[in-house]
Structures are given as C-alpha cells and as structure tokens.
Amino acid sequence: MRSLFLLASVALLSGQSPLLVKPYLQLGDNPTDASRMTVVFHAAAPGKFTVTGPKGKAIPAVEQKIAATSVAEHFVYSAELTGLKPGAEFLYSVSHDSKIIFQAKGLARKSAGQPSRTVIFGDSGQDNTPQREIAWRTVQAKPDMVFIVGDIVYSRGLVSEYRQKLYPVYNADTDSPNGVGLMRSRLFTGVPGNHDTVTTDTTKYPDAQAYFLYWKQPRNGPALGGKHQPLLQGDHAAAFKTSAGSAFPNAANYSFDYGNAHWTMLDGNDYVDWQDPALQKWVADDLAKAGKATWRFIGFHQPGFNSSKAHFSQQQLRWLAPIFEKGGVDVVFSGHVHNYQRSYPLTFTPSGPGAKKGEVDGAWKLDQAYAEKGKPKGVIYIVTGAGGAGLYNPEQDQNRATWQPFTKLFVSRNHSLSILDLNGKNLLFRQLDGKGQELDRFEIAK
Ligand SMILES: [Fe+2]
C-alpha cells in the first residue's frame, strides 16, 4: 500500500496530475444502497481514467464535457464503487492511462442498523476565515456525512467560485485550519441556495449554475415539466443544458437514506411553487415511502420559520408544514439566514398568503412542554446558516422580545455548525461555534 501512496505523491508533487479538482465522494443516482458510492473528479483534458475500489477492479469513469466559455472547457468524471461494506473505511484510487494518480480512504454509507453522525451548515462558501474555522471544527467532529444547506458558493454559484470557495476549503490535501480533506473521505450532500441558482444570464456568466454540474445526487425528485426551475437566458443556456444533462433541473430535489434516517432535500428558491399539488404529492409520497426509516429529515435553503429581521418574508416553505407533520418528519434544516435558530416543536396550519410577497399566514401550535429531551409534539425547525458568511442580526441574540413566538433559541453572534448524532431510536443534536463551544443541545427519544 505504501508504494501506491508514494506513486501518487510523486505524480502530484511533480505537477503531472491531470486533475483540476481531486476526487470527492457523492451519493450518485443511488437513493438507498449503502454499499455504493460515487467518486467524482474534474480534469482539464479528456483521458482514460479509471477508479479502483476495494474489489480491485478498475472501473472506467464516465465522462461529462463541461463547455463554459468563461472558463476553459473541462471534464467531470464519475465512477460508482459497488460492494462497499456499509459504515467501513475503504481505500480507492484513480488512475490515468493505468497509472495511479490519486488515492484516498473513504467511509462507506451507514446501513440502517448503524449509528451515524452528520454535520450540517449553510451559507458557507465565502473563502473567508469563519468558513475555514467551521470547516476545521467539522473535521474535528469526525462526521460520517456533511450536508451543506445551500449558498454553497458566493455569490453567483459559478464554476470559478467552486474552484476558489468550495474545493480548496473542504477537499484540501491535508487537514489544517486553512482547509480540510473531507470531501474525498466523507459523503457530501447539498441543496441549492439562492446564490447557487440566482445567476440566469448565461451571456454574462457562462459558468453559472455549477451546482447542476458538480453534485451527483439521486434523480428521484419530482417531474418539473419545465416549471419550478431557474429560467436560464442568454447565449450559453443551450450549451449549459447539454453539459448538465439530466441534472438540470432535476438534481435540485431528491431523497435518500443514510443509516436509519430518510432525507428529503428540496429546492426552496422562489421559482419553485410549493403550492403546486403535483410537487406537494411528491413530498407526501416520498415521506410515505420512507416507511422503515426511524428518522425523517428535510433540508432546504429558505426557512419557513425564521425570527430574524433578515429574510423574514420568505416563508414560502410554510406551505409544506402539514405534509411534513403527516409524513412524520422530525427535524427540518434550513440556512439562508446567517445565524442559528431553533423552533419549539410545532404544527402549523396555513390559512393563506400574508400581506407581503412570500409571507404565509396561519396558526401554529407549539409544544412548550418539550424540555430538550423525550418525544416532541411537532416538527423542530432549525436555521443553521452561520457556516461562514457574515452574520445577520447580531442585535437579536438573546433578545427574546424580538423573536417570533415559535422560536426557542436564537444565536446570532457566532458562526456555528450543527452535529446530528443518531443511534437507534435516540437523536442527539448539538450546535457548536467555531471554537467548539456548545451553543445548543437537544435530544429526542422514540
Ligand atoms: Fe441564502
């Protein structure tokens, strides 16, 4: 094994690596099978790339040409590893013209019987000190999986921004306060935030919408029928769509199982109308199909229940609250608002649109008896958007008079990350700041 590492190091040190972005681990189009993971990497030129997993067989990597005129044409390669032992570390390597050019250890997905730890944060991709501090804290938390809950890169979701603000921070060659090597060893998942999809002018920004090029996630989302997606304009829209293939726009909504949890990931951007009965049916059916999972979680960027003065009117995801409740959802994770908030366990009945665009009126019922332990009556809504970008509304920290009635805790003076531990019927949630100080904690037992 040592000689393989040496070979890889020599090739990389001598500058011969044809890789633009080193390998990282993704779900691939595989919602449920814990023995499979997809290895993804980017190259400047087409070539004969293979990936070898623990089974020892070289798997030819599938090539995807990315034509964007503002960055050089490049190639995304993917290969699915099979036969992995759930929850176990495995060694994998990438070869170019049969020579090993990269090697790393990955962690296979957890099966339903195994405990798991997920780290969650959003609004992170700023290439700044707080982002790196949260990344460094994430690696020390030793997650099995990381979920970035939108605004993956600022401020336009460009290819060039991925190369500056995502991969160097989370897919570095070593772990240090300047960047961590987590993406090559642990599953990363994501949902699109507003900054990831806001740039629709492909004439001015031909390398926009990189989310749809670089994340390889299940294609089991709802049929969008040309609606509920970023409306691309300009000279390079067709070239982008060819590059993205079926990922655009379908990779914005999907679901998967990890350990004994089912995750439903949604696009919370305002071009999606979550009042559309077809979309609502997809969410309801997805939760109903997750029958065996002990835990159900939802992830989307724009929080329905938010006490911050920032983004207060963007309540469009409140329309789904009754579906989450009926579907047995435990916790909903959002970002967008750059601070940390936890709601009381709540149920909500929408009554109609509110006074301002995006607002949703209705009545909530709060479980104020839930004392951070036991079984809550309702869904807990978490805002964990303090992953790197500048904090919002620090003046509301500890200032309860400014909070909505549904908010139990609001911390806006610290960047932070969420750590979700699942062990059978027990859930432990902790919110830590960049120094490792615990800001919040609750448990659920079923
Ligand atoms: Fe946002």
Task: List, for residues 156-174, the tens digit of each pLDDT value.
Answer: 999 999 999 999 999 999 9
Cα-to-centroid distance, 44 and ligand 1 (Å): 31
Cα-to-centroid distance, 196 and ligand 1 (Å): 9
How does 155-182 read in b/e, with b if 16+ C-beta sit within 10 Å?
Answer: bbbbbebbbebbbbbbbbeeeeeebbbb
Q: Provide Rg for the chain, Cα atoms.
A: 21
Cα-to-centroid distance, 112 and ligand 1 (Å): 32
What is the C-alpha to C-alpha distance for residues 280 and 109, in angstroms, rounded to an integer? 29
pLDDT of residue 5: 44
Residues flanking ion ligand 1, Cβ below 5 Å: 151, 193-194, 336
pTM of the model: 0.96
Coil, helix or strand at residue 367 = coil
pLDDT of residue 10: 42
Cα-to-centroid distance, 79 and ligand 1 (Å): 31
Cα-to-centroid distance, 18 and ligand 1 (Å): 34
Cα-to-centroid distance, 78 and ligand 1 (Å): 29
Nearest by Cα to 20 from 210, 283, 260: 210
Task: Compute how many other C-beta atoms are within 10 angstroms of the C-beta atom of residue 108.
Answer: 24
Cα-to-centroid distance, 331 and ligand 1 (Å): 20
Cα-to-centroid distance, 217 and ligand 1 (Å): 21
**Distances from the Cα of 44 to the Cα of 48, 141, 428, angstroms:** 13, 34, 43
Question: Quick one: residue 142, left, alpha or beta (phi over 0 = left, psi -120 to 50 = alpha)?
Answer: left
pLDDT of residue 372: 97
Q: Over the stretch 112-149, which tens digit does the pLDDT of each residue have?
A: 999 999 999 999 999 999 999 999 999 999 999 999 99
pLDDT of residue 15: 53
**Distances from the Cα of 219 to the Cα of 161, 195, 222, 227, 408, angstroms:** 25, 22, 9, 17, 36
Cβ neighbours of residue 226 closer than 8 Å, sequence gap 6 or more: none
pLDDT of residue 70: 87
Domains of the chain are 2-107 (2.60.40), 116-445 (3.60.21.10)
pLDDT of residue 68: 85
Decide: 192 and 271 in contact? Cβ < 8 Å: no
Q: How wide is the angle at C-alpha 415 spanned by C-alphas 404 and 375, nearest 5°?
A: 50
Cα-to-centroid distance, 155 and ligand 1 (Å): 10
Cα-to-centroid distance, 152 and ligand 1 (Å): 9
Cα-to-centroid distance, 66 and ligand 1 (Å): 26
Q: Which of the residues in the chain have pLDDT under 50? A: 1-14
Torsions phi, psi for 211 (to 5 deg): -50, -45
